[in-house]
């Protein structure tokens, strides 16, 4: 199939306008809206912020504007999340106990409830994506996408609400909800979902959806066990080592990496499945409906490259933080060391692909194995090893 270039894109491309010329009125409005919201937030919460945190907020504001310019669906998403979070904050006022009596909080907005919605919707979306894959129904596919979007909105607004809730518990308890295993698992699910949705939109295909969402459903299963069996969902005050603005950037950067690596691994599984099915049953339904190999290989590479870039930043931020908290930028703490192992692993993967031109099955296997290395860094270290990262254990 040849690359299709419509007359419009061609003419649009004829004069390659500069980045700024390509921005529309809507883009301008978006920027204004985000800035206004950000300033409002700053005004409300400025007493809790130090200089670094104001800088982080300014940076995040610019990043959010750029994100909305670069990927349009991000805007509606952001607005929906903001709307829910604002509604929750308004319902709460300053009384945390309202979570048990206020209708909106009790059934939709309280962070714990929002996470339950998120969990249910992600699992539903996973099933729906697979149904769409086999039935080849456009409508069911769209439903799956919508479910994923809504789940992500619920999850992210839940995190924002939880942030506020922690302050309602006590101003000296308040902190960004990326401080323990329970909270970062939610972050992990959200990052993976957003990355997936981005590739779904850019590649205009839903064939990868079931696989990507399978990783998220796995995270949801863990989350539910962790909450119900281990009661890990309670908001806890921060230990002194975590009381730092670095946490606000180090942790999210890490989870872009983890999410991207998880996505790559799931695509690796789809790749191995498809190539196996093609070899043995080339005429089967499965061989026809599974995502094409070329697509999987390409997205797998993109995800790993993005994950590697994010993980590089995260590890460096971690080192800078360690230089402030632990007395040195590198202490060979188990978590730190495993981050290095993950990084080296993907560096080797990228080398082989880019300089030796490795493709296909071996790289797919490697991406899958890479997930286990990543999972060990993420979970195994907390479970089996002890160290300075007092981040929560099982």
Binding interface with ligand HEM (CB under 6 A) = 347, 350-351, 354-355
* Residue 244 binding partner per list other proteins, ligand HEM, none, with a CB distance cut-off of 5 to 8 Å that depends on partner kind: other proteins
For other proteins, the closer of residues 127 and 340 by Cβ is 340
For residue 256, the minimal CB distance to ligand HEM (Å) is 16
For other proteins, the closer of residues 91 and 353 by Cβ is 353
N residues, the chain: 394
For ligand HEM, the closer of residues 316 and 347 by Cβ is 347
Q: Max Cα separation, the chain? A: 65
Ranges within 195-224 binding other proteins (CB under 8 A):
202-204
Q: Burial-class residue 150 by CB neighbours within 10 Å (0-12, 13-18, 19+).
A: middle
For residue 335, the minimal CB distance to other proteins (Å) is 9
* Residue 35 binding partner per list ligand HEM, other proteins, none, with a CB distance cut-off of 5 to 8 Å that depends on partner kind: none
* Residue 138 binding partner per list other proteins, ligand HEM, none, with a CB distance cut-off of 5 to 8 Å that depends on partner kind: none
162 Cβ contact partners less than 8 Å away, ≥ 6 residues apart: 111, 177, 183, 235
* Residue 234 binding partner per list ligand HEM, other proteins, none, with a CB distance cut-off of 5 to 8 Å that depends on partner kind: other proteins
For ligand HEM, the closer of residues 293 and 350 by Cβ is 350
Does residue 97 belong to the site contacting other proteins (CB under 8 A)? no
For other proteins, the closer of residues 153 and 364 by Cβ is 364
228 neighbors 216 (Cβ within 8 angstroms): no
For other proteins, the closer of residues 136 and 202 by Cβ is 202
Q: What torsion do the CA atoms of 329, 331, 335, 338 make, to the nearest 10 degrees?
A: 90
Q: Check residue 235 and report its DSSP letter.
A: -
* Residue 51 binding partner per list ligand HEM, other proteins, none, with a CB distance cut-off of 5 to 8 Å that depends on partner kind: none
For residue 308, the minimal CB distance to ligand HEM (Å) is 6
Q: Could you tell me which stretch among 133-141, 225-233, 280-288, 360-368 binds other proteins (CB under 8 A)?
A: 225-233
H, E, C per residue of 246-312: HHHHHHHHHHHHHHHHHHHHHHHHHHHHHHHHHHHCCCCHHHHHCCCHHHHHHHHHHHHHHHHHHHH
Q: Which of 8, 24, 94, 327 binds other proteins (CB under 8 A)?
A: 327
Does residue 1 belong to the site contacting other proteins (CB under 8 A)? yes
What are the CA-CA distances from residue 298 to residues 166, 276, 364, 368 (Å)? Answer: 42, 18, 11, 15
216 neighbors 142 (Cβ within 8 angstroms): no
Q: What are phi and psi of 93, to 5 degrees?
A: 60, -120
133 Cβ contact partners less than 8 Å away, ≥ 6 residues apart: 206, 207, 209, 210, 289, 290
* Cβ density class 62-87: b for 16+ within 10 Å, e for less: eebbebbbeeeebbebbbbbbebbeb
Ranges within 333-392 binding other proteins (CB under 8 A):
334, 337-338, 340-341, 344-345, 347-348, 351-352, 354-356, 381, 384-387
* Residue 40 binding partner per list other proteins, ligand HEM, none, with a CB distance cut-off of 5 to 8 Å that depends on partner kind: none
Query: Whole-angstrom distance between the N-terminal and C-terminal Cα of the chain?
Result: 51
* Residue 383 binding partner per list ligand HEM, other proteins, none, with a CB distance cut-off of 5 to 8 Å that depends on partner kind: none
Ranges within 257-316 binding other proteins (CB under 8 A):
292, 294-295, 298, 302, 305-306, 308-309, 312-313, 316
254 neighbors 187 (Cβ within 8 angstroms): no
For other proteins, the closer of residues 96 and 122 by Cβ is 96
Kindly state the number of chain residues that form the binding site for other proteins, as judged by CB under 8 A: 73
């Amino acid at each position: 199939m040849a690359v299709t270039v419509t007359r419009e894109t061609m003419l649009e491309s004829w004069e390659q306008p500069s980045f700024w010329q390509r921005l529309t009125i809507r883009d301008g409005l978006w920027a204004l809206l985000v800035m206004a919201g950000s300033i409002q937030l700053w005004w409300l919460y400025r007493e809790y912020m130090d200089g670094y945190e104001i800088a982080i907020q300014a940076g995040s504001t610019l990043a959010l504007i750029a994100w909305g310019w670069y990927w349009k669906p991000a805007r509606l998403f952001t607005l929906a999340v903001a709307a829910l979070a604002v509604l929750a904050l308004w319902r709460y006022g300053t009384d945390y106990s309202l979570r048990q009596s206020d209708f909106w909080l009790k059934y939709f907005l309280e962070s714990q409830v929002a996470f339950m919605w998120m969990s249910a919707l992600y699992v539903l979306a996973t099933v729906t994506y697979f149904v769409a894959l086999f039935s080849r129904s456009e409508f069911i596919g769209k439903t799956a996408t919508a479910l994923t979007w809504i789940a992500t909105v619920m999850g992210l607004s839940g995190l924002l609400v939880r942030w506020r809730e922690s302050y309602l518990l006590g101003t000296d308890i308040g902190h960004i909800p990326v401080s323990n295993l329970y909270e970062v698992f939610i972050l992990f699910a959200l990052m993976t979902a957003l990355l997936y949705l981005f590739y779904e939109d850019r590649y205009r295909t839903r064939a990868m959806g079931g696989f990507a969402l399978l990783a998220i459903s796995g995270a949801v299963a863990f989350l539910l066990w962790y909450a119900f069996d281990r009661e890990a969902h309670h908001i806890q005050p921060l230990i002194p080592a975590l009381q730092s603005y670095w946490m606000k950037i180090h942790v999210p950067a890490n989870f872009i990496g983890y999410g991207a690596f998880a996505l790559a691994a799931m695509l690796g599984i789809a790749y191995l499945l498809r190539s196996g099915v093609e070899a043995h049953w080339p005429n089967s339904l499965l061989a026809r409906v599974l995502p094409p190999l070329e697509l999987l290989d390409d997205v797998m590479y993109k995800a790993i490259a993005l994950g590697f870039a994010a993980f590089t930043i995260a590890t460096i931020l971690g080192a800078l933080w360690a230089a402030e908290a632990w007395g040195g930028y590198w202490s060979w703490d188990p978590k730190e060391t495993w981050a290095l192992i993950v990084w080296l692993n993907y560096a080797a993967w990228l080398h082989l692909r880019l300089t030796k031109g490795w493709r296909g099955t071996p790289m797919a296997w490697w991406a899958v194995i890479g997930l286990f290395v990543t999972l060990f860094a993420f979970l195994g270290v907390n479970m089996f090893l002890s160290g300075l990262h007092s981040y929560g254990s099982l």
